[in-house]
Chains A and B, each alone.
Chain A
Amino acid sequence: MMPTTPEYMRFLPEMILTITGILIMFLEAVLPDGKKTIFAPLSILGLAAAMIAAATSDPGTAFHDMLIVDTFGTFFRVLVIGVGILAVFSSSEYLTRENTPGGEFYALLIFSVMGQCVMVTANELIMIFIGLEISSIASYILAGYLREDPRNNESALKYFLLGSFATGFLLYGVSWIYGITGVTNLELVRHAIETPGFDSFALAGVAAALIFVGLGFKISAAPFQVWAPDVYQGAPAPVSAFLSVGPKAAAFAILLRIFLTAFGPIADRWTPFVWSCALATMIVGNFAALKQTNIKRMLAYSSIAHAGYVLVAVTAHSDTGAAAAMFYLAAYALTNIGAFAVVTYFARKGEQYVSIDDFAGLSQRQPMMAAMMTIFLLSLIGVPLTGGFFGKFYIFKSALDANLYWLTILGLLNSAVAAYYYLHILVVMYMKEPGESSENLPPVGFGLKVAVYASALGTLILGIFPGLILDYASRTVLK
């Protein structure tokens, strides 16, 4: 049976992204050097078109149920494409500054986003794997994009080695599932497990564990988090921003989809495991972040801690938990992209100024950038009227719904610990006198301005009118 037009339409965002990516690679080869400034606008155009296509696509399945466009998928598709747009805005100047204004950066970024789109709408384990590979391979290259910088090389190599290892786990888990149930479609897997007479619960548990290990790496859950600080610190700042939100959001999307849909019936078996992972992730992330002096490294540990909060919502394994995780990931994406954009701006050529102490007196030299950074940090702390606050609120609410009292209490206390290291940046920016590092700050370029202001605005809007997104996310039914 040939795919029908509506089925293709459900795949339209991915097609637009692929075409844009290939077009950029093609133009890279034929355009003269002077005209290469069009790549950024072109990428934005392609991503924006894909976003519109994703936002308006009809619910339903495509290609023999391999893809499913539902509330959940649409939400995440729009989210990862949005992250892509913000990443393009925040990296265009960075590339000029580092003298590498190549088109391949944008092409890779777009391919990575495309892979994430496939992941979040995949309804089938093989599709999930394919999407994950497309996204990851592009990300590995992005992490080492400045190939003459040793830090970039280290980052890319670590990311690649550990990433492929983890993908192996995932694939192994998938093959177990296929061996046990004979299917790879998530709903059919669920159906098989639910069928009376199914007796391989222990084997299904092993498969779930293998898949969790694979995805745990992608979301940097403890104890699979060790790569994250090195990679985020070494990669170019805009790439770190992208890696810490885009692939992570997509990985969480498939984690939720696999565990709530396929492994929903054996939730009793995996929740204790995820419970302890969530707690360990929060603790490792927060306590390690306390000690950091490099801001990129600190944000890396902070992103580990935030993954821990989202895992709390996964542990709740309910639709409210899924909605809370969706809201949280959206709020976190805006906040973190914004924070990294400020870091990108401040680091300047060659990323010289990435120590936290370098931010001394930023509020006096660039009051607007400091004010925006304040919004992002307050959101990361979880102060009311920012998106981060409602994210935490919904997550802990869903956890209490699921009677996870201890996890809630420990999570809340963790977020108080986290306040310390975020406050430290505020202290440095506002309460220390400016030093050598904040002299001769260049004006903020257009792209960065857009990225920073748009993220800050989004963070505040989510903090004042969270219903805008939550009402949509609450329609999610993962069964």
Chain B
Amino acid sequence: MTTLDLVLFLPLIGFLLMLVIPKDLSRMAALTISLAVFAASLALLAPYWFAYPTGYTFETNISWINYPPIHYHVGLDGLSLWLVLLSTFLTPIAVVVSWKYIDHRVKEYFAFLILLEFGLIGVFISIDLFLFYVFWELALVPMYFLIGIWGHDRRIYATVKFFLYTMAGSVLMLGAIIYLYNQTGTFDYNVIRNLIASGHLALTSRAEMLLFLAFFIAFAVKVPLFPLHTWLPDAHVEAPTAGSVMLASVMLKMGTYGLLRLCVPLFPNAAHQSAPWVNALAITGIIFGALVALVQPNMKKLVAYSSVSHLGFVVLGIFSFTQQGLDGAVYIMLAHGIATGALFVLVGFLYERRHSLEISAYGGVATAAPNLAIVFSITTLASIGLPMLSNFVGEYLVLQGAAQANFNYAVAAALGVILSACYMLWLYQRIFFGKPSESVTHHVFDLTPREWAAILPLLALMFWMGSFSQTFMPAITTQNAVILQQMQQPSQPVVARAPRRAASTLVSPPSASQEAR
């Protein structure tokens, strides 16, 4: 049992515990559990603090189901490390944010939030493809309830749409996973990748493209990549604050993580072939998202479309297939998690005061709540990508990587950066400047200590990520270098870890019935 197992299963134990404790304690329990998980997850940093291991750390590989051979195979690398930390860091914040906001069916709410953490961590650390799929679907269920029960007016439409989009995308991924299993006799990502890379599993280019697409669509829905993004604004607008935070900050990263971690390394040729149209979609998403954000009358919808735009950068970075592009993509994944998470938290604060998400309901908030205004302005600037703040590093690297791949990509994507300044600053201006109306002065008060507690860690990280990127970068760079190497050297020897029969029985599937005969 490694620390990683502890980090994964603490939320599950916490969830079960929360089902039985009295209702009044559920807030405290959720906070305690999520903080404990976060504390435990900090221990995961240890191997990455002074060295940059290229393989997996905290690896556990035990059999879960004998036939077909499904393993509980989890491990951490430079990529998943930060995403796990992002999940464990944001969950306590989501709990604090929901402290007062949630006033009915409190116990179920916090239980679902903790269960969500379990699913998210599981997605980021699974090495067994089957296990990955299990967590992928599992994370869907608590979010479905979080939006559906505690959301706003059109919550049911939004949550069903969210579930169906993701489900429709992921069933094809399941088909592809089963196909890979039938060809190789294993679900282990490493083994399958090595078999493909070494040519032991010879996929025709058509088969590779179809498999790539099956994975790609599942992930693209989740990212969400234009034109599969339409579920996102609905889900965000209707979700409760903490739901939006977890959705934008962590769940969307499941998609980009999957692209970078599974889709691209498994099917490098198909990925290279698809790069032009994927990049075209990513750039369309960047500009389209920004333009639509510009005209939104609803704050949450604006932030949601800004996510479409930001995530376009991530996809562009990944499909530039350059070191800078990949590094930048991962960095945006983290920075977007912090900055957009903070934006949703702040929008939630405003909503709790004024009970409206319409931008026109505000104006002059800076007078009524100066501290809130300062915090919001820092977050806005971070989201725009101002140097010294978190998003800048990632956006710069992605643009650099995209320029290496094709200079036109960088030019087009840079437009998105400019547009992001437009819509965010305009949003800020409309909410905070001007003369406060009666209702604003009456309802909008400044940050409470609880709210400070939720937002301060996020602010600190924005500065930290913007100024000391070296804290995060080496582990990411090391891992991305491995991925790039895997992509560019299609021939590699099969590692010793491959099961004996994997290479020999590519055709006939092994079966327990044969043994019984």
- Name A residues whose Cβ lies closer than 8 Å to a Cβ of B: 319-320, 323, 364, 378, 381, 383-385, 389, 393, 396-397, 400-401, 408-409, 412-413, 415-416, 419-420, 423-424, 426-427, 430-431, 465-467, 470-471, 474-477
Contacts and interface: CB of A to CB of B under 8 A. Distances in A.
Given A415-B171, A477-B517, A430 B509 contact: no
22 contacts: A319-B511, A378-B141, A383-B137, A384-B134, A384-B137, A400-B179, A400-B182, A413-B171, A413-B172, A416-B164, A420-B160, A424-B160, A427-B148, A430-B149, A465-B65, A466-B65, A470-B65, A471-B66, A471-B512, A474-B511, A474-B512, A477-B517
Closest 10 CB pairs between A and B? A384-B134, A412-B171, A416-B168, A474-B512, A475-B516, A431-B148, A397-B178, A384-B137, A474-B513, A416-B167
Contacts of A364: 105
Nearest to A397: B178
B134 A419 contact: no
Contacts of A474: 67, 511-513, 516
B169 to A, nearest CB: 9
Contacts of B179: 400
B513 A420 contact: no
Contact of B174 (A378, A412, A465, A471): A412
A477 B513 CA distance: 7
A430 B144 CA distance: 11
Contacts of A416: 164, 167-168, 171
Given A431-B155, A470-B67, A397 B181 contact: yes
B68 A397 contact: yes
A470 B171 CA distance: 22
B513 A409 contact: no
A393 B182 CA distance: 12
Contact of A385 (B68, B138, B168): B138
A420 B168 CA distance: 10
B174 A393 contact: yes
B433 interface: no
B145 interface: yes
Given A384-B134, A415-B171, A420-B160, A396 B178 contact: yes
Given A319-B511, A384-B137, A420-B160, A467 B66 contact: yes
Contact of B168 (A397, A413, A427, A476): A413
A431 B145 CA distance: 8
B163 interface: yes
Nearest to A408: B175
A400 B159 CA distance: 32
Interface string B310-342: 000000000000000000000000000000000
A426 B159 CA distance: 11
A420 B159 CA distance: 11
Given A384-B138, A419-B167, A420-B160, A320 B517 contact: no
Contacts of B66: 467, 471
B174 A396 contact: yes
B108 to A, nearest CB: 8
Interface residues of B, number: 38
B48 interface: no
Interface in B100-157: 105, 133-135, 137-138, 140-141, 144-145, 148-149, 155-156
Contacts of B105: 364
Contacts of B67: 467, 470-471, 474
A409 B134 contact: no
**Most chain A CB neighbours (cut-off 10 Å) among B67, B138, B144, B512:** B512
A368 to B, nearest CB: 11
B149 A320 contact: no
Contacts of B134: 384-385
Interface string B61-100: 0000111100000000000000000000000000000000
B178 A427 contact: no
Contacts of A378: 141
A427 B509 CA distance: 41
A416 B159 CA distance: 15
A430 B105 CA distance: 11
B463 to A, nearest CB: 40
A467 B65 contact: yes
Contact of B148 (A389, A430, A476): A430
Which has the most chain B C-beta neighbours within 10 Å: A393, A465, A470, A475?
A393
Contacts of A400: 175, 178-179, 182
B73 to A, nearest CB: 16
A383 B175 CA distance: 14
Contacts of B164: 416, 419-420, 423
B141 A427 contact: no
Of A420, A424, A476, which is in contact with the most chain B CB atoms at under 10 Å from its CB? A420
A172 to B, nearest CB: 34
B516 to A, nearest CB: 4
Nearest to A322: B513
Nearest to B210: A405
B512 A475 contact: yes
Given A393-B174, A401-B182, A467-B66, A427 B156 contact: yes
Contacts of B509: 320, 401
Given A383-B140, A400-B178, A474-B511, 7 more contacts: A383-B138, A384-B134, A397-B181, A412-B171, A413-B171, A470-B67, A477-B516
A364 B107 CA distance: 12
A397 B181 CA distance: 9
Contact of B141 (A383, A412, A467): A383
B57 to A, nearest CB: 26
A426 B66 CA distance: 33
Nearest to A475: B516
Instruction: Pick from A389, A431, A467, A475 the residue with the most CB of B within 10 Å.
Output: A431
Interface string B234-262: 00000000000000000000000000000
Contact of A412 (B135, B148, B155, B175): B175
Interface string B483-517: 00000000000000000000000000101110011
